[in-house]
Amino acid sequence: MGETLEAAVKAALRAVRDPATGRDVIEAGMVEGLAVRDGMVQFAIQVPRERAREAEPLRQAAEKAVASVKGVLSATVVLTAHRTEAKAAGPAQGHSTQAHPHAPGGRATPGQGPMLLPQVGAIIAVASGKGGVGKSTTAVNLAVALATQGLKVGLLDADIYGPSLPQMLGTRERPRAEGQRIIPLQRWGLKAMSIGFLVEEETPMIWRGPMVMGALEQLMGQVEWGALDMMVVDMPPGTGDAQLTMSQRVPLAGAVIVSTPQDVALIDARRGVKMFERVGVPVLGLIENMSYYCCPNCGHREDIFGHGGARKEAERIGVEFLGELPLKLAIRELADAGTPIVAAKPETEEAQAYQRIATRLKAKLDARGGAAGPKIVIE
C-alpha cells in the first residue's frame, strides 16, 4: 500500500511544473526526502537560493496536489535552498567551506541571503547539550516572564523533530494564513510559532538536515512576527543543523544554556557553550534546572541530582551563573496542562526565580544595546 501511495504521490507531483524551467518537479529533481508513511507525506522542494522567496507558490501547488491524492491524510512540504555556484565550482583550493568566524556578526557568510527577523530587537537562544533537562519549560517561562515585564515577546520552537510548544502553551490551534504569510498564535502575552502547530500531533518528522533547515527558515522568514522587543528561541538539544541555521540566519544576541547539576549533563552543556562560542554567539549564562527536589507535602529538600554543578561549571568556563530552578511538581503539572507557572502562579518562589533570571537577561542585553528601546506594555 505504501509503495502504491508513493507512486500516486509522484504522479501527482508530475503535474506540478516549475514556471522557471517548464519542467515538472519530479523530472527537474526538485523533490527531496520524500517520505510516505501511514497516509502522511513529507518532502522538500529544493530551489536555488536566489529563487527562495519567489518559490512559495510552487511549494503551495505541490502541497495541494499531494493533499488531493486519495489515501493521503496530511501533506507537509517545505522549501530548501542551495547555492548553485558552490555546487558547480566547489570550494577554491586552500579555502575552508566553513563559515568565517569574522564574518559580519560572526555568523553570516556571503551567499546566505539577508538576515531573517530584522524587526526583532534581540533574539535569545535557550539551548542545552542534551535532552530532558527542562529546556523547553525554561524557555516558555522565561518568555512569559519577559512579557509580564512589559516587553513585546515572540517564542519560536526551533525543535523540528520534537516540538513541545503546543503542549506547553495549551493549544492545538492551527495558525491562519494571509496570502503567503503565516500569522503566529497569541498565547500568554506571546506571539508563538512551532512546526507542531502545522502538522498533526503524532506526525513524525522524518527529515534530513536540509529539510530541517528549510522548515526552520520558513518559521522565521514566512511568519508575520511583526516588530518585537525580544524573541526567545527554544532550541533542540545538541549541536546540530538547527543550531547552525540559527547562528547563520539570524543575529542572535546571545544563548542561555540549561543544564541539570550532574556531571553527565554538564559535559554536554560544555559542548553547547563551545559550539556557540565557535560560531560567534555570546553565551549569556548557565541555568541549573532541577537543582533540588522539594517535597510538596512537608517541604523537605533533597539534592537528588546533586547541587551546584552548573554554578561551578559557569565559574570554571567564565560565564555568568543566572540562577537555579527547583524540581517541583507544580512546574511539571502546569507545563503539562499548558499553563506556564509564571502566568498561573506568579506569587510562588519558582515563578519569581524565572522572573529574576528574565530581569537579569534583559539587563545584560540593555547594557550591550541588544534589547529594543522603550518598553511596550502588552494589554
Instruction: Output the pLDDT for position 376.
Output: 31
Is residue 250 within 8 Å of 278, Cβ to Cβ? no
Instruction: Output the pLDDT for position 370.
Output: 55
Instruction: Output the pLDDT for position 113.
Output: 56
The C-alpha R_g of the chain, in whole angstroms, comes to 22
Instruction: Output the pLDDT for position 112.
Output: 52
Domain ranges within the chain, ordered by starting residue: 2-83, 120-368
Q: Taking the model in full, what pTM does it have?
A: 0.71
Q: The domain 2-83: what is its CATH number?
A: 3.30.300.130
Instruction: Output the pLDDT for position 311.
Output: 85
Q: Extract the residue ranges of the chain whose pLDDT is less than 50.
A: 83-111, 372-379
**pLDDT tens, 98-108?**
333 333 333 43
**pLDDT tens, 223-276?**
999 999 999 999 988 777 788 788 888 889 999 999 888 777 788 888 888 888
Instruction: Output the pLDDT for position 48.
Output: 81
Is residue 200 within 8 Å of 74, Cβ to Cβ? yes
Q: The domain 120-368: what is its CATH number?
A: 3.40.50.300
Is-same-fold flag (2-83; 120-368)?
no
Q: Which of 236, 164, 220 is nearest to 197 (CA)?
A: 164
Strand bridging mode 283-288 / 252-259: parallel
DSSP annotation string for 147-172? HHTT--EEEEE--SSS--HHHHHT--
